Amino acid sequence: MSSAASASAAGGAGEEGGAAAAQPQQEGPVVTCKGVNGLDKVVLREVRGSSAEVYLYGGHVTSWKDEHGEELLFVSNKAIFKPPKAIRGGIPICFPQFSNFGNLDPHGFARNRTWSVENDPPPFPVPTSNKAYVDLILTHTEEDLKIWPHSYEFRLRVALGPGGDLMLTSRIRNTNADGKPFSFTFAYHTYFSISDISEVRVEGLETLDYLDNLQERNRYTEQGDAIVFESELDRIYLGTPSKIAIIDHEKKRTFVVRKGGLPDAVVWNPWDKKAKAMSDFGDEEYKRMVCVEAAAIEKPITLKPGEEWTGKLELSAVPSSYYSGQLDPDRVLQDSSVPEDSIS
């Protein structure tokens, strides 16, 4: 892996939650160093100044900053950077199970495992000339096999685009030697940093059906022209478009979520009572975050031995005036377009 970017301005959201992280002195697009509580992390920096941080524990993106150094992801000040507890905030990866859709612990085990940097991964469909990226890999352990008896390879690329876009590409392959297929559900559990939850609306999910996790997962149809927040909200939207917008009126900023191979979208804010019930979440922090998650939940992904699934997420932050209802409607994901049926 190339030596790289200064992490001095990217100390990691949530550093208040543990010992201060040592900062590297190297310059360049990719730096490995120690984060909170001595955990290994990778810092990515794009030449114009945007940055991202990825902890090997969980393959977990904990920071994404724009060229001005403003943090775009939310990590709780009470986040516990100490295995086996998952990190509260950023982009946890839910695999091989979303929430309690199965027999595993909620959200599976990928976010509770230590990943490895893969210096020579299999080639991507479209090579990139950008150098601000890291490839991680997670494979089954004996511990995993006791609770989920399948062999797999999970490759994750985290990359920063030239304009500061954050891109995550997951490639999951069935490596079972016994000829058995396996099925899984998946989500990029992204926590966005916002001005105030009352100032935010989510567009792109109008008229769609959703499962309401607060109503025994009963199925409803979205009636509003946008999603706004006045109380706890926890929904799984089904058959969603490849692009969703999160408009923050106070900051005059729009997050654009583009996704491939991930037909569902989770929208979540815990509101006050649930926030107070979480030990790793501040009582008032629900006001400064919203989760909009690219996911595959309603219809689990099934892979036969040798088959690979790809799920892509691309996040952009643009001025809200630039959005005006439609943003580059024909634009595809930067590395390559990924069809909804993305198993090869």
In a domain, 238, yes or no: yes
- What is the SS3 assignment for 10-21? CCCCCHHHCCCC
327, pLDDT greater than 60: no
Q: What is the pLDDT of residue 240?
A: 98
Model confidence at 120, pLDDT cuts 50, 70, 90, reads confident
Q: Would you call 249 a catalytic residue per the annotation?
A: no
> Within 10 Å of residue 233's Cβ, how many Cβ atoms?
20
Mean pLDDT for the stretch of residues 298-321: 95
Q: What is the pLDDT of residues 44-86, one digit of tens each?
A: 999 999 999 999 999 999 999 999 999 999 999 999 999 999 9
Question: Could you tell me the CATH number of the domain that includes residue 158?
Answer: 2.70.98.10
21, pLDDT greater than 80: no
Q: Which residues pair with 117 in a beta bridge?
A: 136
Q: What is the pLDDT of residue 9?
A: 32
In a domain, 105, yes or no: yes
Q: What is the pLDDT of residue 321?
A: 72
Task: Point out the catalytic residue in the list 15, 285, 293, 314.
Answer: 293
Rg of the chain taking only CA atoms, in angstroms? 19
Q: What is the pLDDT of residue 127?
A: 63
In a domain, 140, yes or no: yes
Q: What is the pLDDT of residue 28?
A: 81
Q: Of 45, 31, 242, nearest to 162 (Cα)?
A: 45
Continuous segment of H or E residues that includes residue 31: strand 30-34
This prediction's pTM? 0.87
Q: What is the pLDDT of residue 162?
A: 86
Q: How far apart are CA 137 and CA 237, in angstroms?
A: 29
Mean pLDDT for the stretch of residues 146-158: 96
Q: How far apart are CA 276 and CA 285, in angstroms?
A: 9
Peptide bond into 92 cis (omega under 30): no
Task: Point out the catalytic residue in the list 189, 206, 230, 250.
Answer: 189
341, pLDDT greater than 70: no
Q: How far apart are CA 93 and CA 108, in angstroms?
A: 9
17, pLDDT greater than 70: no
Q: How far apart are CA 197 and CA 213, in angstroms?
A: 19
24, pLDDT greater than 70: no
Q: What is the pLDDT of residues 230-278, one digit of tens each?
A: 999 999 999 999 999 999 999 999 999 999 999 999 999 999 999 999 9
In a domain, 257, yes or no: yes
As for how many domains the chain has, the answer is: 1
In a domain, 333, yes or no: no
In a domain, 14, yes or no: no
5, pLDDT greater than 90: no
What average pLDDT is seen over the chain? 88
The three-state secondary structure class of 309 is strand
Domain containing 82: what range?
28-317
Q: How far apart are CA 63 and CA 43, in angstroms?
A: 9
Lowest mean pLDDT among 58-72, 113-127, 132-146, 154-168: 113-127
Q: How far apart are CA 147 and CA 102, in angstroms?
A: 11
Q: Would you call 293 a catalytic residue per the annotation?
A: yes
Mean pLDDT for the stretch of residues 288-295: 98
Place of tokens 């439609």: 326
Of residues 247 and 11, the one with the higher pLDDT is: 247
Q: What is the pLDDT of residue 3?
A: 36
In a domain, 337, yes or no: no
Q: How far apart are CA 249 and CA 247, in angstroms?
A: 6
In a domain, 116, yes or no: yes
Q: How far apart are CA 165 and CA 167, in angstroms?
A: 6
Q: Of 106, 108, 100, 103, nearest to 152 (Cα)?
A: 108
